[in-house]
Structure 1
Amino acid sequence: PTRTAAHEEHVDVVHERLQAEAVQADAVEGVGFGDLGLGENIVRVLAELGAASPFPIQAATIAPILEGRDVLARGRTGSGKTIAFGAPLVESILRSQAGSRREFGRSPKALVLAPTRELALQIDRTIQPIARSVGLFTTQIYGGVPQARQVGALKKGVDVIVGTPGRIEDLVEQGKLDLSEVRIAVLDEADHMCELGFLEPVQRILRLTADGSQKLLFSATLDREVAALVDEFLVEPAVYEVAGEDQDSSTIEHRVLVIDHRDKAEILTSLVDRDGKTLVFARTRAYAEMLAEQFDDAGIPSLALHGDLNQAKRTRNLEKLTSGRVRVLVATDVAARGIHVDDIDLVVQADAPDEYKTYLHRSGRTGRAGREGRVVTLITRQRRRRMTEMLDRAEIDAPFEDARIGDDLLEEIAGRQLADVDA
């Protein structure tokens, strides 16, 4: 069979063997975080973080995680998975240390692996206040910055480390990080981790954790490489898929605009000239820079986000979008992995993606946490067939509409403000 056919066959086998249990949103109504087994302090901090009651993925996974089971969860980004593993992970460490004093220089008890620095920072921002509320400490371990601060934190002793595979392996090899006491290991965005070539480092890292350590794996898709991780590391996992949180989630509207190439620049400017936060995807760094400049010249505060910018600059540009100082961010796919801003209500694909997984990932930047969002993709007539095939693979229904400069259609997409859905 072709690679694709063989690949799909394999994924089906994984599915059959794992028997995912779909979690319906209505099944969790009336369930509180306390009911799931989390302590009072943690429940209070979650409320302060804006999580008053659990999302479906959280309601499904927290109890089995507290029971010590391995968990495999499929849910799109924005479904609330950081709290789904972060809160019970902190609760579990707390329970295991009940009555014992925290020692200086102690080795970490939990490890969260993420594919990018941005995601590691994002995860730590959520887990840190939960951990602090019960007297536990987290630290981030990732490359691209000097290691001294990270090593200093490890010397003092931390309970949870959040980081990327490269630097974690590096510090283990230098003898500065001991993973032998890690009782819970989390893999977030496992599919992306494999896409970036981290499969083998992740395997090596997980083999260093304590015998019988609990493994939690979160992924939007189950590919052959992710399946290899499941096979080796997860023992009879509790498997969940979040129904109603999947790609055709009703909170996201998908549209495809068929345009003439010569109108592209003007149509893009017209689409981003709006009040809400807009994320534009460009294929190359140069095009991202060019578009950000073009929008800026039109009086629309915009910035670019791509792999050529150093970490500090990327963080700063993202912060400007979060705080509302710029309304438009033009990103390449590499940089977009770290974009977790809850109120982006429009995603514009200036360049259509080549792969359905990229489409799903980009779409996941909007419609987060139950809010409404819209994804608009620009294509020329020639790309119509390819786009149709890709949407089919992504299981997304999107109307194809002809768009010209000055159309009411553009006004409607840019001008209609999306109100938040009542949570």
Structure 2
Amino acid sequence: MAQKRRRGFKAPANYEPGRKPKGGRGRGPHAQGRAADGDAPDERRGSERRGSDRRETERRGRPDVHARPDRVARPERAKRPDRPAGERSGGGERARVFAFDEQGAPKGRERQGASASRLPAKRTTAADAAAASFAGLGLGGNIVRTLAEQGADRPFPIQVATIPDALAGRDVLGRARTGSGKTIAFGAALVERLLRLKAEGRFGEEQRPARQGKPKRGERVERAPRRQARNPKALILAPTRELALQIDRTVQPIARSVGFFTAQFVGGVPIEPQVHALSRGVDIVIGTPGRVQDLVNRRKLDLREVLVTVIDEADHMCELGFLEPVQRVLRQTERGGQRLLFSATLDGQVSELVEEFLRKPAVHEAEDGATGDVSHRVYVVLREDKDRALVELVSRPGRIMVFCRTRAYAERLSEAFVDAGLSATALHGDLSQARRERNLERFASGKAAILVATDVAARGIHVDDVDLVLQADPPDEPKAYVHRAGRTGRAGSDGEVVTVIARTRQKRTREMLQEAGIEPEFFGDYVPEGAVGVQRAGWIPGETPREDRGRGRG
């Protein structure tokens, strides 16, 4: 028999060199001889070891050199009948089995939701919402009064479609364009739903310390224990800081009118004030996935009592790479809780959220509510004349938003507008959170007529009466174009969208507009005042191109 391979040996702590071990615990013929001299305990232990070795060798199919001939092998135990996978031995209850295929997708597990692309959507038009009112949708008097103070007298189609199902406790999937009133739709429904859950006793009993009488003079009284802060009962996730802050501005008055408190949890600001707010108690958490997950990891935020969760702009959140953080956050909320998901489009990653977290959702698609007439124009400008063209296009009365692709270009263009004598401000990721809020407030209050922003700011900025959306850098996909154009034409007012492109992007821009279903009123050349580029035949520098001249030159 081949000699066994030697292995490393580590002496125990109580090892003494030269001391013989007590008793015969060895294997082989020497151990059998010592056992025959009358060492009964060692014989019993040796036989147990040899029996275990024999069973091990029989299992492996090798002969046992230490087997005793006087021992009769025990009969093999009957095998248990095979049970189906996932069945427990104690009863018929099925356990959760997690298995994955070669692509990493779960298999053998029952999914609660259905594919988002296969869910039929109920479309609500402006005619359906004409005779509706917030009180008729089921909202309370305080909430209706607060909405009227904010200027929302009558509901929009998306609000008429989603509020009744949200109040009934169903999961809701709402599809509507930017600026259609989604914030009030889920904000008012969320607050009213929490009121009903509190009346049903779902919040639990708050433990308050017993009141003690007035102590006598000279009597020493122990301080009452501090009451444990209440955990949040609702969560609203937004992709950007600006959108989260604007959601809080809309939801906070509605929540305060019925006694609920909200708090903002976004990145870019110190975390200590947010921790302090959690220690005092918060009912509705509004924040971005990154900061919410950070607070959960620090064990400062407990999401186990969250009953209602809202995900706003889910498609943009997946585009920014927040799909996995959102999944981790939702898995920490109460299992079986209500989920409201609002998105302009249903892409593949949004479908993953729907399939995992929404249970038989009520799908609604609303018509654009109270939108005005928006005209679309595309100007082809030479590279050396682009800055002059942009300054000339924004030198007009009204409120203007300019979108750029990079942060550096947004900052440079904002400085160029200021040098030209225009009141402009910038909004991009390189600015601190305090400066971003200050610049956005300047634009919303009218102190700055021009806001130069990146694509991150294209989502969630709700500023009324934007007259012109100027795209200094054309978007790469039709979805981004739609969200940029959604900044104008709100609340029934008219607007204009102008896109400035180079001559090499004409084909791509036409394909993008065709895919987005937009027919521009004009698509042609534009020559600004004092152009240094090559002058085109038949053009007068500084004259805005007319449709009859520009048509066919794209």
Q: With the length of structure 2 as denominator, give the TM-score of the two structures.
A: 0.69
Q: Secondary structure at the match of 1:368?
A: coil
Q: Relative to structure 2, which stretch is displaced further, 150-159 or 94-103?
A: 94-103
Cα distance between partner residues in 1 of 2:295 and 2:117: 39
> What is the match of residue 394 of structure 2?
272
Q: Relative to structure 2, which stretch is displaced further, 100-109 or 116-125?
A: 100-109
2:495 corresponds to which of 373, 387, 392: 373
Alignment of 1:94-173 (within 5 A): 94-98=195-199, 105-173=229-297
> What is the match of residue 527 of structure 2?
404
Higher RCO (CA < 8 A, seq sep 6+)? 1
Alignment of 1:2-401 (within 5 A): 14=115, 16-98=117-199, 105-244=229-368, 251-399=373-521, 400-401=523-524
| 2:417–2:423 Cα contact (<8 Å) kept | yes
| 1:342–1:369 Cα contact (<8 Å) kept | yes
| 1:80–1:369 Cα contact (<8 Å) kept | no
Q: Secondary structure at the match of 1:96?
A: helix
Residue 250 of structure 1 and its aligned partner are, at CA, apart by 5.5
Residue 241 of structure 1 and its aligned partner are, at CA, apart by 1.3
Q: Relative to structure 2, which stretch is displaced further, 258-267 or 54-63?
A: 258-267
Q: Secondary structure at the match of 1:318?
A: helix
Letter of the 1:25 partner, please give it.
A
Letter of the 1:404 partner, please give it.
V
| 2:116–2:351 Cα contact (<8 Å) kept | no
Give the 3 Å change call, closer, same or farther, for CA 99–182 of structure 1 in structure 2.
closer
Letter of the 2:324 partner, please give it.
E
- The CA deviation string for residues 318-374 of structure 1, in whole angstroms up to 9 with x for no partner, is 111111111111111124335221221210001111122221221122222332221
> What is the match of residue 214 of structure 2?
none
Residue 173 of structure 1 and its aligned partner are, at CA, apart by 1.7
Letter of the 1:89 partner, please give it.
L
Cα distance between partner residues in 1 of 2:200 and 2:170: 24
- The CA deviation string for residues 360-409 of structure 1, in whole angstroms up to 9 with x for no partner, is 22112222233222111011222111001111222211131332222245
Give the 3 Å change call, closer, same or farther, for CA 264–47 of structure 1 in structure 2.
same
> What is the match of residue 8 of structure 2?
none
Residue 75 of structure 1 and its aligned partner are, at CA, apart by 1.0
- The CA deviation string for residues 193-217 of structure 1, in whole angstroms up to 9 with x for no partner, is 1111111111111111112100000
Q: Secondary structure at the match of 2:232?
A: coil
Q: Relative to structure 2, which stretch is displaced further, 160-169 or 252-261?
A: 252-261
Cα distance between partner residues in 1 of 2:442 and 2:354: 38
> What is the match of residue 418 of structure 1?
none
Structure 1 alignment gaps of length 5 or more: 1-12, 411-423
Q: Secondary structure at the match of 1:205?
A: helix
Cα distance between partner residues in 2 of 1:16 and 1:109: 30
Q: Secondary structure at the match of 2:199?
A: coil
Which structure would you say has the larger Rg?
2
Q: Secondary structure at the match of 1:26?
A: coil
Letter of the 1:116 partner, please give it.
T
> What is the match of residue 6 of structure 1?
none
Cα distance between partner residues in 1 of 2:476 and 2:272: 40
Cα distance between partner residues in 2 of 1:147 and 1:316: 20
| 2:236–2:309 Cα contact (<8 Å) kept | yes
Letter of the 1:283 partner, please give it.
R
Q: With the length of structure 1 as denominator, give the TM-score of the two structures.
A: 0.89
Letter of the 2:175 partner, please give it.
R
Q: Secondary structure at the match of 1:374?
A: strand
- The CA deviation string for residues 25-52 of structure 1, in whole angstroms up to 9 with x for no partner, is 1110021100000000000000001101
Cα distance between partner residues in 2 of 1:372 and 1:50: 19
Cα distance between partner residues in 1 of 2:401 and 2:488: 9
Q: Secondary structure at the match of 1:370?
A: coil
Give the 3 Å change call, closer, same or farther, for CA 14–98 of structure 1 in structure 2.
closer
Q: Relative to structure 2, which stretch is displaced further, 285-294 or 185-194?
A: 285-294
- The CA deviation string for residues 50-107 of structure 1, in whole angstroms up to 9 with x for no partner, is 1011011011111100000100011111111010000010011112213877666111
| 2:234–2:283 Cα contact (<8 Å) kept | yes
Cα distance between partner residues in 1 of 2:289 and 2:269: 14
Letter of the 1:34 partner, please give it.
A
Q: Secondary structure at the match of 2:148?
A: helix
| 2:158–2:180 Cα contact (<8 Å) kept | yes
Q: Relative to structure 2, which stretch is displaced further, 84-93 or 21-30?
A: 21-30
Give the 3 Å change call, closer, same or farther, for CA 82–71 of structure 1 in structure 2.
same
Greater share of helix:
1
| 1:165–1:201 Cα contact (<8 Å) kept | yes
| 1:45–1:130 Cα contact (<8 Å) kept | yes
Structure 2 alignment gaps of length 5 or more: 1-113, 208-226, 529-541, 547-554
Give the 3 Å change call, closer, same or farther, for CA 15–136 of structure 1 in structure 2.
closer
Residue 23 of structure 1 and its aligned partner are, at CA, apart by 1.1
Letter of the 2:300 partner, please give it.
K
Cα distance between partner residues in 2 of 1:145 and 1:244: 35
Cα distance between partner residues in 2 of 1:379 and 1:83: 36
Root-mean-square deviation (CA, aligned residues, Å) is: 1.9
Q: Secondary structure at the match of 1:28?
A: coil
Q: Relative to structure 2, which stretch is displaced further, 330-339 or 270-279?
A: 330-339
